[in-house]
Amino acid sequence: MNSNAQAVWLDAFARSADDSDGRAPLAATYDLKPYRLAQLYRAATKEFAADLDEVTTLPADLRRRLAADGLRLESIAPVVLQRSSDGQTTKGLFRLRDGNEVEAVLMEHWNDRTTVCISSQAGCAYACAFCSTGQAGYTRNLSAVEIFDQARFFARELKSRGKKITNVVFMGQGEPFANYDAVMDAVRLLNDPNGFGLGHRHITISTVGLVPQIERFAGEGIQVNLAISLHAPTDVQRSSFMPVNRKFKIGELMAACAAYVEKTHRKVFFEYVMLEDVNDDDASARALAKLMRGHLYHVNLIPYNATPDAPMRGTGDGRIRAFAKTLDDAGVPTTVRTPMGRDIAAACGQLRAQTQPRARAAV
Q: Could you confirm whether 103 is annotated as catalytic?
A: yes
Closest to ligand SAH by CB, 264 or 315: 315
Which of these, 123, 136, 116, lies nearest to 96 by C-alpha position? 123
Radius of gyration of the chain (CA): 21
Closest to ligand SAH by CB, 9 or 269: 269
CA gap 225, 329 in Å, rounded: 25
In the set 124, 131, 257, 348, the catalytic residue is 348
Minimum gap (Å) between residue 216 Cβ and ligand SAH: 16
Minimum gap (Å) between residue 13 Cβ and ligand SAH: 27
Closest to ligand SAH by CB, 12 or 210: 210
CA gap 173, 181 in Å, rounded: 17
CA gap 14, 29 in Å, rounded: 10
Closest to ligand SAH by CB, 20 or 338: 338
In the set 47, 54, 103, 262, the catalytic residue is 103
Minimum gap (Å) between residue 259 Cβ and ligand SAH: 19
Minimum gap (Å) between residue 313 Cβ and ligand SAH: 11
Q: Could you confirm whether 348 is annotated as catalytic?
A: yes
> Which DSSP string do the residues of 17-66 spell out, in sequence order?
STT-TTPPPHHHHHT--HHHHHHHHHHHHTS---SGGG-TTS-HHHHHHH
Minimum gap (Å) between residue 199 Cβ and ligand SAH: 21
The residues of the shown chain that bind ligand SAH, judged by CB under 6 A, are 128, 130-131, 171, 175, 206-208, 229, 271, 273, 302, 304-305, 307, 347-348
CA gap 223, 203 in Å, rounded: 8
CB-based burial of residue 5 (10 Å sphere; 0-12 exposed, 13-18 middle, 19+ buried)?
buried
Closest to ligand SAH by CB, 206 or 225: 206
CA gap 209, 235 in Å, rounded: 13
| H-run or E-run covering 79 | strand 76-83
User: Which amino acids are annotated catalytic?
Assistant: 103, 348
